[in-house]
Amino acid sequence: MQNIELPEGMNPETLEHLMNPKNYGKLENPSGVGVAVDEKTGEYVIFYTLLNGDIVKGTKFATNGCQDTVVVGSMFTEMIIEHDIEYAYNAIQKMNEKLGGASAQQQVCADMVLSAFIASMKNYENLQNGKTEEMHVLKMKESCETQENENV
């Protein structure tokens, strides 16, 4: 087997999540469903959260976004499973720290995943308070469309 040279700036953990994304797909009977959407590009992330009390027992995500979105979704879902909600919210900051060297476009992709998680928690809260809502949707302020694409 050949040694694979990692693309510049990519670590082995990132490559693993890119090649074998974890928790991708639809979660049946979630406690909360959140969507973050980039209206400019049409990209979105759907985030499913299953809670038992305040413990995240399961989570999945789906996206039509780029590989950066898939990697962050995979990494973030793995970070929060079997932890409490407070830990999951704190994991948002930890994820942002992990992405310290990310480009502006990569950061927006990450923000879509993290915003979709927050939307899933808002959906859970709304359902607990008697509101009828299939999912909670957040529209992204920033677009993951690059400056280069805008000039085409």
How does pLDDT run across 10-59, given as a tens digit for each residue? Answer: 577 777 877 889 999 999 999 999 999 999 999 999 999 999 999 999 99
- Measured CA to CA, the distance from residue 29 to residue 11 in angstroms comes to 34
- The CATH code belonging to domain 22-133 is 3.90.1010.10
- Grade residue 95 by pLDDT with cuts at 50, 70 and 90: confident
- CB-based contact 140:37 (threshold 8 Å): yes
Which segment of 44-53, 54-63, 66-75, 143-152 scores lowest on mean pLDDT?
143-152
pLDDT of residue 96: 82
Q: How far apart, in Å, are the Cα atoms of 90 and each of 80, 97, 129, 137?
A: 9, 11, 24, 21
- CB-based contact 57:68 (threshold 8 Å): no
Q: DSSP alpha helices (H): ranges in 49-84? A: 67-80
Which amino acid, 13?
A: E
Q: Using CB atoms within 10 Å of the CB of residue 16, give its burial: 0 to 12 exposed, 13 to 18 middle, 19+ buried.
A: middle
